[in-house]
Structure 1
Amino acid sequence: MNDTIHTAASSAATLETRLARFAMHNARVGEGSVSYREAAGESSNDTLVLLHGIGSGAASWVQQFEALGGARRVLAWDAPGYGASTPVASASPLAADYARVLADWLDALGIARCMLVGHSLGAIMAGAFAAAHPERVAGLLLISPAGGYGAADASVRAEKRDARLAMLAELGPQGLAQQRSANMLSPHADDTARAWVRWNMARIVPHGYAQATHLLANADLATDLARCAGRVPMAVAVGAQDSITPPEACERLAQIAHAPFHVVPGAGHAGYIEQSLAYSTLIEFTLTRTFSTTELKA
């Protein structure tokens, strides 16, 4: 047991050292701010923006910074209520609330158009932004997208919301990280991946996580994707062993979006952490395909 704890701590420390290459920044957005990390690549013409899920943060994308940040600008935000980012105003927000902050953040950074990647709850935010601003999205990749419960019966929405809020109140960030982080990965994940998921989950801000829980209950990604279909180049990917957003659920969203669907072998929900090379390759492929297609149309 002590050896396992020592190995996990060493793995997290190594990743923190790697993360230090991509310093935290803060951008003034309206009356608040957004914290984010950046890899400033050689080209800023095809900026890549990464949106994390409910139990994570900008730091979770460190391996994608390393793999993709040499050739292009890569940005990952701490969503409103995460890291040092100002929470949205509503206690029970909608996806549109996060999409507005995303638009304002991109404006503050001078980014008129980007390639957008959203993981899990980040896919809800990405889909809402693309539905509202299709002209600003060169391509949209949804990784293990959470569909939200907005179209479900009110009792189902309340049950899902209240169960997660009760778990947060009982366990707190550290307890969530210890008890829930393993669900994010496949049985094949190594100690480094497990340590990194725990590290990120332990740093959630309870208020921001609670708002995100309401967002999950309120959101309906399928409706936003239907609005985007034919207007934004899209793709959907999921880990073959994702038990949180299973492949069949993700495939239904891909069908609604009329988007290519990819299943990544040996990966769970946080596949981009445990199978970073496979996901970075997929992101690069999608980025190249969507930008080249857009340029040809232009």
Structure 2
Amino acid sequence: MSITARRKVGIASAIVGVASAGVAAGALAKRYAVGRIRLRPDPEASEPLGELRGRPTTVTTSDGVPLYAEVDGLQDAPLTVVFCHGYTLNLDSWHYQRRDLGEAHRLVLWDQRSHGRSPRIPTEDCSIDRLGDDLAEIVEALVPGPCVLVGHSMGGMTIMALADRHPELFGDKIKGVALISTSPGKLGEISLGLPALLSKAVHKVTPGTVSILRRGGALVDKSRQVGNDVAFLALRHLGFGDSQNVSPTVVDFVESMIRSTPFEVIAEFYPALMSHDKLSALGVLDEVPTSIMVGDKDWLTPVEHSKAMAAALPSARFTEIPESSHLVQLERPALVNNALHELLKRAIADTDAGDENR
């Protein structure tokens, strides 16, 4: 080997060595950061997140999808609360609401199609309108009397699609609605907390990137399984408003739900979320008591989107929850549950008044 060739090999080896050292140092830094976070006192360390279970059941939809659901709580309660979870999550994301509301109310929790324990479905069936039809069939099959619907993120959009496609259910069967960290539409225009030009660039390249990654979904999922430290730190920062004090146990719990959702599912529902537009359907919700909640630091479904819904629903109760982000029902469960208790009281009062007038 010539001196020039040996020199090139030496330089290349040095570059590889420095790069490898940098990767290793970065990995060690992440492990150190995560390790320090986990050593802090964690009041939620003993909370049985994801372990609460109700009576399992299956509702087969009109297009043949067997949706997984659980019936829990006080079975002879006069009111049923139906929980609709968000994008990439599952019914366990309602842990604190199930725990605190079940003593006085009958509960129905379900996994939206392709999420949680519900089976994967074809891409063409990944629409918000179809989710609204699914909810109608869940209500018909599992709710014998009046009910209140509670939706987070994509679950709130599911409720809006139900209002658009089945308005006759509101006021008679459905006595109240809670919309948590959700949006009536125009998600493709949000800033994601970025400067305007950078935000536009991200929105422009994201659909194509998601489509490309979807084709290699299995490989992407493998990389997600080994990237837990990175995912933990990213979710802690982006998913929670008070990232310094949020429970590591709660962050791990959410990260495990997201990681269990195949990337192909994430990619298949992405276009539906971006094209969602149900602002015109909100008038249907004026027929019933409605509560709108959002974290003041939510960058996925910003406060402005909830304010737009509140403007379209003058009688709705609007709650902006401080120091919280998109996962507000897990980050500030006491405040969310207080608002839900207030909504349920209003729904029961309206139900009783309706019964007296008959």
TM > 0.5 between the two?
A: yes
Identity across matched positions, percent: 22
Q: 1:151 to 1:292 in 2, by over 3 A?
A: farther
**C-alpha deviation, 1:232, in angstroms:** 3.2
Is contact 1:39-1:70 (8 Å) kept? Answer: no
Provide, for residues 122-151 of structure 1, a one-character-per-residue CA deviation record: whole Å limited to 9, x for no partner: 110011113333423211110011333489
* From 210, 217, 226, the counterpart of 2:274: 217
| Residues 162 and 286 of structure 1, relative CA distance in 2, 3 Å threshold | farther
Three-state SS of the structure 2 residue aligned to 1:140 is strand
Structure index of larger Rg: 2
Q: Show CA shifts across 1:267-286 (max 9, x none).
A: 21111101111111111111
TM-score, length-normalised on structure 1?
A: 0.84
Long gaps (5+) in structure 2: 1-31, 190-200
- Flag the 1:240–1:166 CA change in 2: closer, same or farther, 3 A: farther
Shift of 1:189: 2.2
Q: 8 Å contact 1:25–1:35 — kept in the other structure?
A: yes
Q: Which amino acid aligns with 2:326?
A: H
Q: Conserved in 1, the CA contact under 8 Å of 2:42 and 2:247?
A: no
Provide the residue aligned with 1:62 in structure 2: 95
In the alignment, which residue of structure 2 is the partner of 1:139? 176
**Higher mean C-alpha deviation, range 261-270 or range 287-296:** 287-296
Structure 2: which amino acid aligns with 1:82? H
Q: Distance in 2 between matches of 1:164 and 1:239?
A: 27
Q: How many residues align?
A: 293
Q: 5+ residue gaps in structure 1?
A: none
Change (3 A) 1:212 1:113: farther
1:56 positional shift: 1.1
Deviation readout 1:64-89 (Å, 9 max, x if unpaired)? 11100111112221111101213454
Is the Cα contact below 8 Å between 1:58 and 1:77 reproduced in 2?
Answer: yes
Farther-moved stretch of structure 1 (194-203 vs 142-151): 142-151
Match of 1:185 in 2: 240
Which sits farther off after the overlay, 121-130 or 38-47?
A: 38-47
Alpha-carbon separation, structure 1, partners of 2:255 and 2:41: 9
Query: What amino acid maps onto 2:50 in structure 1?
Result: L
Q: Whole-Å Cα distance in 1 between the matches of residues 234 and 273 of structure 2? A: 17
Match of 1:234 among 265, 271, 290: 290
> What SS does the aligned partner of 1:102 have?
helix
RMSD: 3.2
Amino acid at match of 1:197: V
1:184 is matched by which residue type in structure 2?
Answer: G
Give yes or no for contact 2:133–2:165 (8 Å, CA) kept in 1: no
- 8 Å contact kept, 1:37–1:59: no
| Partners of 2:41 and 2:291 in 1: CA distance | 33
Letter in 1 for 2:247: D
Question: Offset at 1:91?
Answer: 2.5
Deviation of 1:207 (Å): 3.5
- In the alignment, which residue of structure 2 is the partner of 1:291? 348
Question: Structure 1 residue 99 and structure 2 residue 124: aligned?
Answer: no
Distance across 2 between alignment mates of 1:167 and 1:5 = 32
Q: What one-letter code is carried by the residue in structure 2 that aligns with 1:239? A: G
Pairing of 1:193-272 with structure 2 (within 5 A): 193-226=250-283, 228-258=284-314, 259-272=316-329
Q: How far apart, CA to CA, are the structure 2 residues paired with 1:180 and 1:41?
A: 38
1:251 Cα deviation from its structure 2 partner: 0.5
1:273 is matched with which residue? Answer: 330
Is the CA contact (8 Å cut-off) linking 1:239 and 1:267 kept in structure 2? yes
Question: Which deviates further from its counterpart, 109-118 or 274-283?
Answer: 109-118
Deviations along 1:189-229, whole A, 9 cap, x unmatched?
23233222212212213343233212202211312213x14
Distance 1:6 1:127 in 2: 42
Amino acid at match of 1:204: T
Q: For 2:101 and 2:272, how far apart are their aligned partners in 1?
A: 30
Report if aligned partners of 2:78, 2:145 keep a CA contact under 8 Å in 1.
no
Work out whether residues 96 and 129 of structure 1, in 8 Å CA contact, stay in contact via their aligned partners in 2: yes
Task: Work out whether 1:121 is the aligned partner of 2:154.
Answer: yes
Question: Greater strand share, 1 or 2?
Answer: 1
TM-score, normalised on structure 2? 0.71
Native 8 Å contact 1:160 1:217 kept in 2: no
Which stretch of structure 1 is more off in the superposition, 51-60 or 124-133? 124-133
